[in-house]
A = this chain, B = another copy of it.
Amino acid sequence: MERKKPIDIKTLVEELMEEIQNGELADENGKLPSEHTLMSYYNVSRYSLRQALAQLSDMGFIYQAQGVGSFIRPERHEKIRNLQNNLGITEEIARPGRKIETVKASQRIVSAAEAEFLPRNNDLTADTQLIEIERLRTLDGEPYLAEKSYYLQSVIKEIPKESLYDSVFNYFEQNKDIKIGFIDKVISSEELSEPSASFFGLKIGAPTLVVRDDTFLSSGKLLAFSKICYDYRKAELFMFKKTY
C-alpha cells in the first residue's frame, strides 16, 4: 500500500468508510489490516487511528476483537433507518439509491403555548416564538412519514422554502453559525390518528412508530424539537450498542 499524507480524524473516518465500502481495505474474510499497518498507510498516530476506528465501531460498520483484529460487519438490511449516523434522513436513504420526497409542507410562526407538544426537559416560556413545520414525505413514491417540527426562532430566523422540500439537515450543515451538539430521541408506538391515517391509507387506531427528537446546539441550548410518525409497515429503526 502506498503511504498517504497526514489527515485529520474526520477525513480519516470518511476515507476509511469509503475504502471499506469499495472493498479496498478488507481481505476476503472481512478482516482489516492491523492498526500498525493502517497507521503507516494513513500516516497518523495510533491515537488518531483508534479514534477513527472507534467512530466506525460506534456506527456499527466494524468491530474490533482483542488479540485478533478488526473486521467489517455485514451490510444491514436496506429498508432500515439508522438512528446513530450523522446524516439527515434524505441523505441516508439516498445512499442505497432510494429517494425521500416531500409531497406536502407548510410553515408558520407560533408561540410555545400553541405547540402541539413540547420538549421533554422543557424550559421554554409560553411566549417563545417557534417556527412550526409540517411535512408529509414519501419513500420511492409511497407514503412513508408525517412530521411536525418546531425550531426556536431566537436561534434560527427563517427556514428557506427549498429546504422544506429538500433537506433541512443540509441547511444546517451549510450554516456555519449553527452547530448541532447532540440529540435526544424518544421512540414509542401510538394509535394512528388523522391526517396521517389517510396519508398512509390506514385506519384510525392502527399502529404507528413515533420518534420524538430534541435537538441541541453544541452550547447545550435547545434548537428544535420534532415528532415523526412512520408508516409501521415500512419503517424500522436500527441502532448498535458497544459494551464497555
Q: Which residues of A contact B (CB under 8 A)?
A: 10, 13, 55, 57-58, 60, 63, 65-66, 68, 71, 73-74, 76-77, 80, 83-84, 86, 120-121, 180-191, 205-209, 216, 218-220, 230, 232, 235-244
Question: Is the beta-carbon distance between A235 and B185 smaller than 8 angstroms?
Answer: no
Chain B nearest CB, measured from A43 CB (Å): 21
A208 to B189, CA, bound (A): 6
A68 interface neighbour in B182, B184, B219, Cβ under 8 Å = B219
A220 interface neighbour in B55, B63, B206, B238, Cβ under 8 Å = B63
Question: Is the beta-carbon distance between B80 and A186 smaller than 8 angstroms?
Answer: yes
Give the number of times this chain occurs in the complex, counting copies.
Answer: 2
Question: Is the beta-carbon distance between A181 and B243 smaller than 8 angstroms?
Answer: yes
Residues in B neighbouring A10, C-beta threshold 8 A: 244
| In the complex, residue of chain B having the shortest beta-carbon distance to the beta carbon of A70 | B220
Other 11 A-B pairs with CB < 8 A, given A73-B121, A185-B239: A60-B184, A66-B218, A76-B121, A83-B239, A86-B244, A183-B241, A184-B239, A187-B187, A188-B235, A189-B208, A239-B239
A66 to B180, CA, bound (A): 13
Question: Is the beta-carbon distance between B232 and A190 smaller than 8 angstroms?
Answer: yes
Could you list some 22 contacts between A and B, CB below 8 A? A60-B184, A63-B220, A65-B181, A65-B218, A65-B219, A66-B218, A84-B241, A86-B243, A180-B243, A181-B243, A182-B241, A183-B243, A184-B238, A184-B239, A185-B240, A185-B241, A187-B236, A187-B239, A188-B236, A189-B209, A191-B206, A209-B209
Residues in B neighbouring A58, C-beta threshold 8 A: 58
Chain B nearest CB, measured from A9 CB (Å): 9
Question: Is the beta-carbon distance between A242 and B182 smaller than 8 angstroms?
Answer: yes
A186 interface neighbour in B86, B232, B238, Cβ under 8 Å = B238
Chain B nearest CB, measured from A67 CB (Å): 9
A76 to B216, CA, bound (A): 15
A83 to B187, CA, bound (A): 10
Residues in B neighbouring A237, C-beta threshold 8 A: 186-188
